[in-house]
Amino acid sequence: MFPLRNYATCVLLFLLVLSDFSVSQSQSPCAAKKKRMREKVRNMFYHAYDNYMTYAFPHDELKPLTKSFTNSLSELGNLKLEHLPQDYNGSALTLIESLSSLLIMGNNTEFERAVLWLSENLTFDVDARINLFECNIRVLGGLVSAHLLASDSSKKLFQGSYKNQLLVLAEDLGNRFLPAFNTPTGLPYAWINLKYGVMENETTETSTSGCGSLILEMGALSKMTGDPIYESVALRALRKLWSMQSSLELFGTTLDIATGQWIEYSSGIGAGVDSFYEYLLKAHILFGKEDFWKMFHSAYVAVQKYFKHGPWYHDADMRTGRATYWQLTSLQAFWPGLQVLIGDVIAANSSHREFFHVWKRFGVLPERYLLDHQMLHPTEKYYPLRPELAESTFYLYQATKDPWYIEVGESIVNSLNLYTKVEGGFASVKDVTTMQLEDHQHSFFLAEMCKYLYLLFDDSFVHENNYVFTTEGHPLPVQSSWHDELPEAYIPNNWTSLKRRSTVNGISAMSLQVCPATNLKSGQHIESACHIPDARSNYRCLTDEDCGVDATTCRRRTCSMAGYCGLWLII
């Protein structure tokens, strides 16, 4: 058995493969396949990267069908620049997004060249209206991650001469974000001009993800610069958003940052809210604050209770919990990966298999699939090379070492090469029924898709350190110096022994804040993460308060007239 960890770092046991285990893996029957698939993914990455550098650099993204470019950072959300300078050459978005992928694939030389180019040429002093959320996760996240990797002496980059150039750029960008938070509620504007701040008559509508998914990148920037302002404004926005939850502990999708009122009450785990849940958990891991864990724990239980239907998750009204839309969206496919990090592996596997079933049916994962009608959404039949299924496949393989996930990864790689690879890169799919292509290679194809597939087949990068991957796939190392509040069992070298305490059989891995594997020594049974045991082991009760939450349905158990806890109100 591996040594036990406190929750904040034990989740990364799924990402750490010890050397002795790696040796045994090298002798396994699937080792040759993994090596072959690793090289396939490497070739995919460089086909996309080289074509970007040839036809689109230093602009933002590649248009692979016409071998041209788009400055998409200022066009995200289908909103165009208002005052784009004629000599504006873009932000080299795809290059920034590719930095950590270059290192993971062992190309230190190209990483160093890219860092030097960015330090000498990139500027954010441009009259450009950008989406705060997208610029945060893509550009700030890419710069912060790459700076931390470049500063890691063990990687022996720049012959020890790196001078924090990326941190300087990140701090400049972070400062340009700050005017967006100057609102009555502390919730930030969704759009901001990099040169002039918030423009006159700017929209006050934003998404839950847009104001609740900033804490990793801006928190890390504060830790690195010593200036608390970035973490402070992101945390204030997060706490304000948290205060807006319904009595069911659910959240809507869109809101008004000026009034602090919800605009769209229907919500799920997909677009507009997905990374909000993700960042609650990952902020706890990265910064060690117990508040983040408490928020995630209650939010997760509410999601499992009101959104989950078998292996699927539908949308529901935050006020009533009633289902609104029965649909699968491609962005939901991140959820099984998040469940792995809290030890709810059985539930993660169940949902993941359903997503993969849809992938196999269409060859790729459509943007939206109507579960109640078992048909594609009539207008959202596209596939923009989204990486979430590959991400969850990587996490599940790390957690289980089930070779079936290697087969899933191989299927994803083969589909991408068959349907989306063109001479000029990899193109998005406009219609999954015809496989008609669209002229866009999103930067996240290099930042996430190729990275997670590569790590699925070769996880040597995560042997070196504990990492939290942002919602854009940028790795941030877990450092004890960033933990303001450490769990009881924490010790400096990151390894822990659980404090001995009496626990009720059936308690969840989530409530214990431990990896599910850690209790195998004692033979203790670990239930689903939403499970809360009854107060008494014999299930007797006096009131409903003596009853817990059912492990299978995530419904609250109630006390019967005979004095026993059960799902008596469920027909």
Give the residue from 218, 217, 259, 271 showing the smallest Cα distance to 77.
Answer: 271
- Catalytic residue, chosen from 315, 344, 388, 459, is 388
Radius of gyration (C-alpha) of the chain in whole angstroms: 23
Report the C-alpha dihedral over residues 279, 281, 286, 291, rounded to 10 degrees.
Answer: 100
The amino acid sitting at 472 is E
Strand-pairing partners, residue 475, are 469
C-alpha–C-alpha distance, residues 98 and 146, integer Å: 9
Q: Helices then strands (H, E): number in the chain? A: 20, 22
**Greatest distance between any 2 Cα atoms in the chain:** 78
The residue type found at 332 is: Q
The 10 Å Cβ neighbour count of residue 43 is 14
* DSSP H or E stretch at residue 389: helix 388-400
Secondary structure of residue 176 in the 3-state scheme: helix
Active-site entry in 97, 171, 274, 278: 274
> How many angstroms separate the CA atoms of 6 and 487, rounded?
7
- CA 58 to each of CA 61, 76, 178, 455, 512: distance values in angstroms, whole numbers, following the listed order: 9, 18, 26, 27, 48
Beta bridge partner(s), residue 441: 62
The residue from 367, 458, 472, 534 that is catalytic is 367
**Catalytic-residue membership of 274:** yes
| Active site (annotated) includes residue 217 | no
Q: Say whether 54 counts as a known binding-site residue.
A: no
* Set 60, 97, 134, 459: catalytic member: 134
- Cα distance between residue 336 and residue 396, in whole Å: 8
Structure tokens at 104: 């993971």
Q: Single out the residue of 309, 307, 397, 303 nearest to residue 356, CA to CA.
A: 397
> Which among 197, 190, 205, 145 is positioned nearest to 175, based on CA atoms?
197
Q: What is residue 419's three-state secondary structure?
A: helix
Q: How far apart are CA 299 and CA 500, in angstroms?
A: 28
CA distance 396 to 75: 34
Comparing C-alpha atoms, which of 337, 231, 334 is closest to residue 292? 231
CA 571 to chain centre: 36
Give residue 425's region: left, alpha or beta (phi > 0; psi -120 to 50): left
Residues paired with residue 368 on neighbouring β-strands, in sequence order: 329
Neighbouring residues of 30: CB distance < 8 A, sequence distance ≥ 6:
403, 406
Residues 6+ apart with CB under 8 A from 192: 129, 130, 132, 176, 177, 179, 180, 198, 199, 202
DSSP state of 518: G
Residue type, 268: G
Binding-site annotation, residues for Ca(2+): 471
Q: Which residues are catalytic?
A: 134, 274, 367, 388
Binding-site annotation, residues: 471
